[in-house]
Amino acid sequence: MEIRENIFANSQTSSYICTQINTNKAKTQNKNSTISSKSIAYCQNKMKIYELPQEYKPLLNLKQTELAIKQIKEIFQLNIASTLRLRRVTAPLFVLQGTGLNDDLSGTEHAVSFPIQDMNGATAEVVHSLAKWKRVTLADYNIPKGYGIYTDMNAIRAHEELDNLHSLYVDQWDWERVITEEERNIAFLRQIVKDIYSAILHTEFMISEHYPQIIPTLPREIHFIHSEELRRMYPTLTSKEREEAITKEHRAVFIFGIGGKLGDGEPHDNRAPDYDDYSTPNDDGFYGLNGDLMIWSDILGKAVELSSMGIRVDKKTLLQQLESSGKEERKKLYFHQRLLNDTLPLSIGGGIGQSRLCMLLLKKAHIGEIQSSIWPDDMRKQCRELNIPLI
């Protein structure tokens, strides 16, 4: 193995240390097999690692890529809307601060905000996601049970650490559907996940028909597992390492129970306490009615979180999760008051990354090949050297 280290000049953001690791075919002594290891470049900004595949060649040129992005969005959007019985609505780019409508995701992120001159300096926040706004919209539009809404959600997440999968700009299909009390269970969530995955498979097939060089690789079935089962399966791994291990094995995985504490006293990942229900006991003997959909990327050699979704909190679980997380002061906010006063329907919903879906289906190495955003100068330089064309 040959290791070459290059220290690039400082960009406007920070200094990067890039290490290129070139590996040739190597024979393992214990397995009597030959393994071809692909060459990978790593760019490090403090503790953040960027993995960029070497010898990468895009399957589509820029013009084809732009057309394919349009086709993927049209095909998937039509499929998901008809399968889940969703109608499209127009969504806000920003909401008023202090209403509780914006989502703080894991509970620690800060929204991009600005004063509104013509409203006496009232502060608006660029949305992180639309989980709470969608639920209010279901009520305001009088959407009946069994039907829902979807929208194109565009957001700015200034806190993101930029890499192949994370951008300052976020685009996703945000959807929400009215459900009954009887549907607040793990079996119903599992069926919704299967429906969404079916739409992904259909989109993958249609794109491969348009572009024969893109070969479908997704498995026909998605694998389900609870985060506590995953912890017991890999007790020595971190939660992210467990995601990598299970997704590499099954290639498409839905992990239940994101946000609640597991057997070791730690959550698999953090969730804000006021939208997903991560504390209700489910029929599988664990806790939580939410989860993350993970897809394996052969190009990156890693798991990609494509969607986060779940059955939303009802009045009881909202109060429980606010109390356990020390966020009881939120009960006074507009959204929370509406839920506590029974003016919001029970619902299920989530977000599906548009750029990430396109990236996965088009076999791209960087999300910047799909969307136009701001990237550090050194990342752009490294991508050019590795034949990764950022938009």
Count of other CB atoms within 10 angstroms of residue 370: 26
Catalytic one of 292, 314, 369, 378: 292
Q: How far apart are the C-alpha atoms of 314 and 34, rounded to whole Å?
A: 54
Residue 292 is among the residues annotated as catalytic for this protein: yes
Residue 284 is among the residues annotated as catalytic for this protein: no
Residue 103 is among the residues annotated as catalytic for this protein: yes
The H or E element spanning position 50 is strand 48-53
Residue 167 is among the residues annotated as catalytic for this protein: no
Q: How far apart are the C-alpha atoms of 283 and 295, rounded to whole Å?
A: 25
The two three-digit tokens of residue 149, written as one number: 């809404």
Catalytic one of 77, 172, 347, 355: 172
Residue 305 is among the residues annotated as catalytic for this protein: yes
Catalytic one of 103, 125, 228, 229: 103
Q: Taking CA 218 as the corner, what is the angle to CA 35 and CA 238, rounded to the nearest 5 degrees?
A: 65
Catalytic one of 51, 109, 305, 385: 305
**Any bridge partners for residue 22, and if so which?**
2
Q: How far apart are the C-alpha atoms of 2 and 11, rounded to whole Å?
A: 27
Q: How far apart are the C-alpha atoms of 330 and 334, rounded to whole Å?
A: 9
Q: Are 156 and 169 in contact (CB under 8 A)?
A: yes
Residue 184 is among the residues annotated as catalytic for this protein: no
Catalytic one of 308, 355, 371, 373: 308
Burial (CB < 10 A; 0-12, 13-18, 19+), residue 305, is: middle
Catalytic one of 157, 177, 242, 312: 157
Q: How far apart are the C-alpha atoms of 165 and 255, rounded to whole Å?
A: 19
| Active-site residue set | 103, 157, 172, 292, 305, 308
